[in-house]
Structure 1
């Protein structure tokens, strides 16, 4: 089971709605708002996570009257409610009375009340107060007929993930005791004999603190693991309280995905299924990605979501230009205002979420807030409720989705390629900063290269896989970042390849163990036998050397066929039978020497890629491997028209998404029924900018 079907949204209704915060608006506006929300064709509203100060104005004194009144009005218009536990923004009375709950930064400065996420996960006082407010809300709304689900907290680890309060240091020490048992084991795991770092008393063990120079990488890796575990242990009691007190039809979820949380473990322990907040405009702000590929990259994050929950909700879907202001004194990030979604773009992003597995989408937000740090974060309605094109677009989406809800609920995404990674290697990217972000860019490049060929692609976490059987159905698997790797994982890939799959390993694969120590064996460590190669030499790339790159064996002798090979080069040497050279380096002292190898094994093959992936060299590799366009049998599509396949086990549908602001020329090789616009497609046709088609491929 490659997707987590157990931890999946299983509602009978497709959910479409908005985030609405009644405490932000005069009460005489509520009736009209809920009437209009319902009139749009929406069926759900999310609220509650911002209002601890109202729900508990004094410690132990609860007041649910405001939300009782708001929910009563929403009921009259047939709207269901998702309630948030309000623990991401503790009220002023709480932080004043219990200052030990405040988050502390790396330099020891406590974060004051006045923004959000200013608490730490390990304060026992804060954990008690969170349990109390969640228990009170559960007792009041746990059997409410209009409440269909709960969201724990809000965007855990957004803005800031690590905390260094006294309680965090003490909790980390206990976490280390629990993990290692003895100081001897901890010292061995952290390699503390280096730079005389050996600990002789547990009282000497803390989270990383300011030092003269570099921290211990193994210590850092455990601090990231601890941060993840702290978030999980913070959310888990809320989940337990809710599950013990709510009606069976009410679900529990959380809206990710943010840094320093191992979401495979988080999903198993703290929610019925994981949800996501989708803001493609953050991709549009990037300057390192071509325009047609920017918001398409949001599909990679949605593909990762499927690895945690086969079906999920979007609890915040971008409804206008996002922006935040008021950070001038912190000076840790700039204020910003994004470009407005172009006509059709909000619909495209909504369908992007749906195509990739969302069985519910809630827009953030119904109306732009006229005060606070998010006056620039625009909703479907602007401040004065004037009609606008985004609101009209949402009405079109509601009609389409309502009409196709049955098919969407009954189908699952079908993919034939996968990208594998895990939390340890993601954490190591933050530690090994000389190459860290390049591993993430490699993953993006691979995703774009595969989707340029209209190949359905999943992004999976190793921890969600039970064994080689979970890799069945994929024809190719990329493991771009396998620096921290073990023999069990290598064996899983060997079995998969023997059975006919293609595995592609990235640079520096298999060279470190789970303690972040290099294996005492030649590179590439534990994958050396699997790949059938050894690394003879390696170097960071000198950016001043001309014509650096790879020449693939099927590219001929034309120098223009050299493709880029950025950041780092491993010079490979085949040492097992069945290994052949797929590409050689084009320059420097190792010109002509192997940079990419392929080992034939069983019915499959193992590729070792000795440099970082770019879009160009990823596409060259796919060409070398004979991986063609998945749409070739039924259509000719431009690369920027993403194709997501969905199946109910019998029929297959392809959802086409045009990310370009210009028309796309599409040529069909047969006659197909298109479900969104309700028409027949045949021959050469023009797909409008930002348009979406849903095509039935087979019955």
Structure 2
């Protein structure tokens, strides 16, 4: 499954002309007696497992003390897996340092915002900026690369594990020193820092770099730009650790691809994965579906965004769950059909490997109640049967889909990590702002309208997209504002929302009124924010109602059409939703409040019609079925994934194509509740790009 213009994204021990999905799990044989390993291999064959991740948390086994290395057990595991026809995604094992290291060097332990030490006892108890930790970690990486770089089972390197999951923020002296270096690189001088941080406010002006600290516990609201910069720095510090391990691996094993598992769930993670995606040879992601209503939509959104980060190329689902997890307040199991649906929704959006955490459910430890492919009930359980059936579907029914890119849609939802970070901090007009929720709301509206939409990081190209929704684009540098103007003037149709275009990259309010550089494009001026209390709504004259936010808007351009007005309160009669057409056929719409799902979907329908972007599903399936499309990219063949968004059977009449799957979802033209089906369709050459 090679990526165009790059190395093979996985080194499969197979015929390179044969398409095949990766399928498997995290495998932790060190947790089990040797006699269990043979049963594991037999069950892996039965389940159709083709690849496993090994060694994620094995540092203390591989190097039990500073003077001893023990590779014997891992040698045997690698050999056994190779003999079983199972490839290995080998972890560098640096995710959690061993007790001997933290005892000898407690200075590697993270420090919280309040000055408390994060002690060993869980995982990821290390500072991303610790030179001591870096030295020992790279020694381990080098030893693994030297020993296993030529092993025939090795398919890829897996750097650390879920970088930043528990140690994203570190306020130690190491972090302070590295933060100053980062700031010096960004601003050049203390005067540049003072300007960016507006330090004349509250007498925060700095005279020397040594005076600058991380945003530790303070008497009141910490400088907002300092907070934003520390988040940027913290993401970059972890990215630098990824680079350090990757460079060791590339030096010793230049032909083995390197990845690390992102955690794209929603989009506002602390790690800026839009900046990280270019650092790996192929994008990988961990995702755990949210139980309850809307969970499958969020899964689709996250898988879609992962595909966007991968540039539309195949990517690797490194972890998800067969059933229940263990870390929520209540952890219900998955309903029948959800194991396959969740897995195949990721495949629909470009995943070429589907893996679980983990292979065999732990008997002890913090994750012993987390589901696995082989649960406590053993291989006779329904979970294992469902996992084995999924392995069959991937290997037999869908093999020809492997390696194909996802085909671009005609619409997109744009997400921006920095805006998400900025609206989550303190001292804002409202604490109810949620960029992740707003982006997901609009994505759900596309699903409700039966229209495919790609989810893209803000820096991606918008060329070829007829309609782009950029919600809560709060941090708006002039360069990004210019790209939006160019998109609209070139005939594109833009939708943005409240609290967008407010500040520049230094978190300084754009002068001249809100929404800053977007005022002329939108043909309006926001004179004052009017955030709404929790539980309070604002009625609109089209029968809808908004929550979270409202704006006092003055329309400044006669070309700006008011699509809805506020119907009550002190904003009665003022514009709430607008659209401005521009010469060249483009338009820019503004939505000043959070609409409910029904009315957001209805508004989106009007905007899609004006943009000339139509649904690809017949009317009776819109809102009930999600469509995602992969294909060969040359117009020869497409693969239509059809996911049932309801709890009722759906008749798939009026659709083209030949079904590729049976038990995974479609039988006799009927899509089962929570089912997902795949059809081979003659290519149309349609889509963006």
Counterpart in the other structure of 1:368: 361
With 532-541 and 222-231 compared, the bigger mean Cα shift is at: 532-541
**CA–CA distance in structure 2, aligned partners of residues 7 and 490 of structure 1:** 35
With 231-240 and 447-456 compared, the bigger mean Cα shift is at: 447-456
Per-residue CA deviations over 1:572-591 (Å, capped at 9, x if unaligned) read 22223521111111111221
* 1:295 positional shift: 2.5
* 1:406 positional shift: 2.0
* 1:696 positional shift: 3.0
**CA–CA distance in structure 1, aligned partners of residues 417 and 399 of structure 2:** 34
Counterpart in the other structure of 1:130: 137
Counterpart in the other structure of 1:559: none
* 1:570 positional shift: 1.3
Q: 1:47 to 1:336 in 2, by over 3 A?
A: farther
Counterparts of residues 199-214 of structure 1 (less than 5 Å) = 199-214=206-221
Contact 2:433 2:548 in 1 (8 A): no
Counterpart in the other structure of 1:600: 581
Counterpart in the other structure of 1:565: 546
**CA–CA distance in structure 2, aligned partners of residues 697 and 320 of structure 1:** 32
**CA–CA distance in structure 2, aligned partners of residues 7 and 479 of structure 1:** 33
Q: What secondary structure, in the 3-state scheme, does the structure 2 residue paired with 1:273 have? A: coil
Q: 1:504 to 1:635 in 2, by over 3 A?
A: closer
Counterparts of residues 227-242 of structure 1 (less than 5 Å) = 227-242=234-249
* 1:440 positional shift: 2.0
Partner of residue 484 from structure 1, selected from 446, 465, 475: 475
Partner of residue 534 from structure 1, selected from 504, 511, 525: 525
* 1:117 positional shift: 0.8
Partner of residue 175 from structure 1, selected from 182, 185, 196: 182
* 1:411 positional shift: 3.7
Tell me, yes or no, if structure 1 residue 251 matches structure 2 residue 233.
no
Q: What secondary structure, in the 3-state scheme, does the structure 2 residue paired with 1:568 have? A: coil
Q: 1:320 to 1:543 in 2, by over 3 A?
A: closer
Structure 1 gaps of 5+ residues are: 285-290, 325-334, 553-561
Q: What secondary structure, in the 3-state scheme, does the structure 2 residue paired with 1:322 have? A: coil
Counterpart in the other structure of 1:331: none
Per-residue CA deviations over 1:304-346 (Å, capped at 9, x if unaligned) read 111221321011121121104xxxxxxxxxx645111111110
Counterpart in the other structure of 1:619: 601
**CA–CA distance in structure 2, aligned partners of residues 667 and 676 of structure 1:** 14
Counterpart in the other structure of 2:351: 358
- Please give the root-mean-square deviation of Cα atoms over the aligned residues, in Å: 2.4
**CA–CA distance in structure 2, aligned partners of residues 4 and 421 of structure 1:** 26
* 1:241 positional shift: 0.6
Q: 1:257 to 1:4 in 2, by over 3 A?
A: farther
Counterpart in the other structure of 2:319: 316
With 112-121 and 485-494 compared, the bigger mean Cα shift is at: 485-494
**CA–CA distance in structure 1, aligned partners of residues 8 and 283 of structure 2:** 7
* 1:352 positional shift: 0.9
Tell me, yes or no, if structure 1 residue 222 matches structure 2 residue 206.
no
Counterpart in the other structure of 1:272: 281
**CA–CA distance in structure 2, aligned partners of residues 103 and 680 of structure 1:** 47
Q: What secondary structure, in the 3-state scheme, does the structure 2 residue paired with 1:639 have? A: coil
Tell me, yes or no, if structure 1 residue 691 matches structure 2 residue 675.
yes
Per-residue CA deviations over 1:130-186 (Å, capped at 9, x if unaligned) read 111000000001111110101100001113420111111111122212222211111
**CA–CA distance in structure 2, aligned partners of residues 443 and 695 of structure 1:** 29
Q: 1:192 to 1:399 in 2, by over 3 A?
A: same
Counterpart in the other structure of 1:426: 420
Tell me, yes or no, if structure 1 residue 677 matches structure 2 residue 673.
no
* 1:486 positional shift: 2.3
With 55-64 and 522-531 compared, the bigger mean Cα shift is at: 55-64
Tell me, yes or no, if structure 1 residue 664 matches structure 2 residue 649.
yes
Q: 1:175 to 1:633 in 2, by over 3 A?
A: closer
* 1:536 positional shift: 3.5
Contact 2:665 2:672 in 1 (8 A): no
* 1:632 positional shift: 5.4
| TM-score with structure 1 setting the length | 0.90
Counterpart in the other structure of 2:331: 338
**CA–CA distance in structure 1, aligned partners of residues 493 and 383 of structure 2:** 44
**CA–CA distance in structure 1, aligned partners of residues 552 and 216 of structure 2:** 38
Counterpart in the other structure of 1:301: 302
Counterparts of residues 504-523 of structure 1 (less than 5 Å) = 504-523=495-514
**CA–CA distance in structure 1, aligned partners of residues 518 and 608 of structure 2:** 24
Contact 2:401 2:631 in 1 (8 A): no
With 630-639 and 56-65 compared, the bigger mean Cα shift is at: 630-639
Q: 1:430 to 1:160 in 2, by over 3 A?
A: farther
Q: 1:237 to 1:187 in 2, by over 3 A?
A: same
**CA–CA distance in structure 1, aligned partners of residues 217 and 431 of structure 2:** 23
User: Number of residues paired by the alignment?
Assistant: 660
Tell me, yes or no, if structure 1 residue 457 matches structure 2 residue 466.
no
Contact 1:312 1:357 in 2 (8 A): yes
With 256-265 and 169-178 compared, the bigger mean Cα shift is at: 256-265
Tell me, yes or no, if structure 1 residue 59 matches structure 2 residue 66.
yes
Per-residue CA deviations over 1:529-563 (Å, capped at 9, x if unaligned) read 111211234311256767x23234xxxxxxxxx21
* 1:194 positional shift: 0.6
Q: What secondary structure, in the 3-state scheme, does the structure 2 residue paired with 1:414 have? A: coil
**CA–CA distance in structure 2, aligned partners of residues 479 and 615 of structure 1:** 17
Q: What secondary structure, in the 3-state scheme, does the structure 2 residue paired with 1:323 have? A: coil
**CA–CA distance in structure 2, aligned partners of residues 681 and 273 of structure 1:** 31
Q: What secondary structure, in the 3-state scheme, does the structure 1 residue paired with 2:435 have? A: helix
Counterpart in the other structure of 2:687: none
Q: 1:694 to 1:121 in 2, by over 3 A?
A: same
Q: 1:545 to 1:26 in 2, by over 3 A?
A: closer
* 1:126 positional shift: 0.5
* 1:430 positional shift: 2.1
**CA–CA distance in structure 1, aligned partners of residues 135 and 548 of structure 2:** 49
Contact 1:536 1:571 in 2 (8 A): yes
**CA–CA distance in structure 1, aligned partners of residues 458 and 586 of structure 2:** 20
Structure 2 gaps of 5+ residues are: 684-689
**CA–CA distance in structure 2, aligned partners of residues 462 and 134 of structure 1:** 34
Q: 1:544 to 1:405 in 2, by over 3 A?
A: closer
Counterpart in the other structure of 2:386: 393
**CA–CA distance in structure 2, aligned partners of residues 542 and 586 of structure 1:** 18
Contact 2:476 2:504 in 1 (8 A): yes
Counterpart in the other structure of 2:564: 583
| TM-score with structure 2 setting the length | 0.91
* 1:200 positional shift: 1.7
Counterpart in the other structure of 1:648: 632
With 127-136 and 673-682 compared, the bigger mean Cα shift is at: 673-682
